[in-house]
Structure 1
Amino acid sequence: MPLAIAHRGASAHATENTLNAFELASDLGAQMWELDTQLTKDGVCVVSHDDHLERVFGVDMHISAMTASELANRPGVNVPTFAEVAALARRREAGLYVELKAAGTGIPAWRELAKHGQSFAVLGSFNPAFVRELRGAGCRWPLSVLVPLGKDPHEAGEEADADIVHLCWERGGTRPQDLVTQELCRLAREAGREIVLWHEERPEVIADLVRLPVLGICSDAPELLKAGVGGSINA
């Protein structure tokens, strides 16, 4: 069955990419947590989709312009370090699906996982160079390339030398599941690659996605994936 991957934690119910969102994701049945990485001014890998803090926390500051200490002590801001999230995942026996947003976050994230023997993890990016950097450094964790709508996933997989193609096709109309064809799945399988699917919150779409031969599906509301796999939601 596809893995239930909580997109930025249970971000439909809690502030995205926070420890609370990840805790809640496990409570709701997620097996993995998708998260994003940024880098502080002093080189600490932290978990946030945006470098700028305005959208999530209403603060007009950039993570890359702050030290880790300044970020941790900023009122109204709740950005955990990658090490904190990784430690929580070990306690909750959850996997980590790490999307590398900022340059320079791949190697520190991988080293943190390796230090603790934390093998239930995937590292990936939209940027093929970030994926190739890890491959070239000898990273043995599965590597993923995120593929926007309109880009050929097989070409992206080859370009990044990835183990997984992650299709970010949630905006592919009312039936994006129809884009995941048998031919697409066959070509990925022949290339030795797994497929992970976008974050999806439409029950009627999820009901079809869980029947596809894919490694995992993301969602802001991981309980919908659990219900879909269990057959309790219908198209």
Structure 2
Amino acid sequence: MIKVVGHRGAAGYATENTLSAFKKAVGLGVDEVEFDVQLSKDKVPIVFHDDFLDRITNSRGFVGDKPWKKLQKVKVIDHERIYKLEEILEFIKDFPQGLQIELKGIGTEKPVLRLVKKHRLLHRTTFSSFWHDRVKKIKELEPKAKTGVIVSDHPVHPLQVVRNARANNLHIRKSYVTKDLVKLMHANNKKIFAWNADTEKDIVPLIKADVDYIGSNRPDVVIKLLKKLKKC
């Protein structure tokens, strides 16, 4: 069964990585929600994508240079704010959705894993990163953790990339997904997460390739197409 993942909540309908976006994703019926985590200056895990505040807030500067006391006062567009990871975990644990947590900042592995385990969400969580050493570190800290390596291009040896990080999944840009790649991963007990597909033109080939996860800013579009093609 292909799982539908709301990218940064449901970023096509609400401000990314905010409670509004996660509520929207849950309401749309996604299987899992994806979001980004980095650390404040005083090492508080926060849910925020960019290295800098400028794009979606009323503030400026490098996120990691500011303590949580200041970040919690920053205003995000659409009357939203920045959330601590713990706040989002407290919200999502009351719903059945799985979690796809992308580790963005240096040193995120231990504090993020600690909070996920504190809220008893390890079995529902996949940890991923473009920095594959962080993925490997999660596995070292908690062998039972599900992990994924994110790649921005098509690796020459994709299976080896996943194995080197001791990961479970390959998270790859939608345009690099092929049926042969999916077959290779599945034959070796690995899964494929395709990101991010928002239109029928992009989504249908992923469904036909039988990927395991489809990340989308408009997850309702994926859900409708899955029902139409009877793949959910």
State the TM-score, normalized to the length of structure 1: 0.89
User: Does the Cα contact within 8 Å between 2:74 and 2:82 map onto a contact in 1?
Assistant: no
Structure 1 letter corresponding to 2:21: A
1:113 and 2:104 are equivalent in the alignment: no
Structure 1 letter corresponding to 2:29: G
Deviation at 1:184, TM superposition (A): 1.5
In the alignment, the residues of structure 2 paired with residue 180 and residue 221 of structure 1 have an alpha-carbon distance, to the nearest angstrom, of: 19
Deviation at 1:212, TM superposition (A): 2.8
User: Does the Cα contact within 8 Å between 1:147 and 1:156 map onto a contact in 2?
Assistant: no
In the alignment, the residues of structure 2 paired with residue 138 and residue 150 of structure 1 have an alpha-carbon distance, to the nearest angstrom, of: 28
Unaligned stretches of 5+ in structure 1?
Answer: 170-175
Q: Deviations over 1:37-81 (max 9, x none)?
A: 110011100011112110111421222111112111234561111
User: Does the Cα contact within 8 Å between 2:58 and 2:74 map onto a contact in 1?
Assistant: no
Structure 2 letter corresponding to 1:230: K
Deviation at 1:117, TM superposition (A): 1.6
Counterpart in the other structure of 1:102: 105
Counterpart in the other structure of 1:69: 69
Counterpart in the other structure of 2:206: 209
User: Does the Cα contact within 8 Å between 2:139 and 2:145 map onto a contact in 1?
Assistant: no
RMSD of Structure 2 on Structure 1 (CA): 1.8
Structure 2 letter corresponding to 1:84: E
Counterpart in the other structure of 1:160: 165
Q: Deviations over 1:77-117 (max 9, x none)?
A: 61111111111111222211001110111221111111122
Deviation at 1:232, TM superposition (A): 7.2
User: Equivalences for 1:22-37 in 2 at 5 Å?
Assistant: 22-37=22-37
Deviation larger for 148-157 or 9-18: 148-157
Counterpart in the other structure of 1:223: 220
In the alignment, the residues of structure 2 paired with residue 186 and residue 25 of structure 1 have an alpha-carbon distance, to the nearest angstrom, of: 29
Counterpart in the other structure of 1:151: 155
Q: Give identity over the alignment, percent.
A: 28
Q: How many residues align?
A: 225
Unaligned stretches of 5+ in structure 2?
Answer: none
In the alignment, the residues of structure 2 paired with residue 59 and residue 232 of structure 1 have an alpha-carbon distance, to the nearest angstrom, of: 45
User: Does the Cα contact within 8 Å between 1:110 and 1:139 map onto a contact in 2?
Assistant: no
1:180 and 2:177 are equivalent in the alignment: yes
Give 3-state SS (helix, strand or coil) of 2:185's partner. helix
Structure 1 letter corresponding to 2:136: R
State the TM-score, normalized to the length of structure 2: 0.90
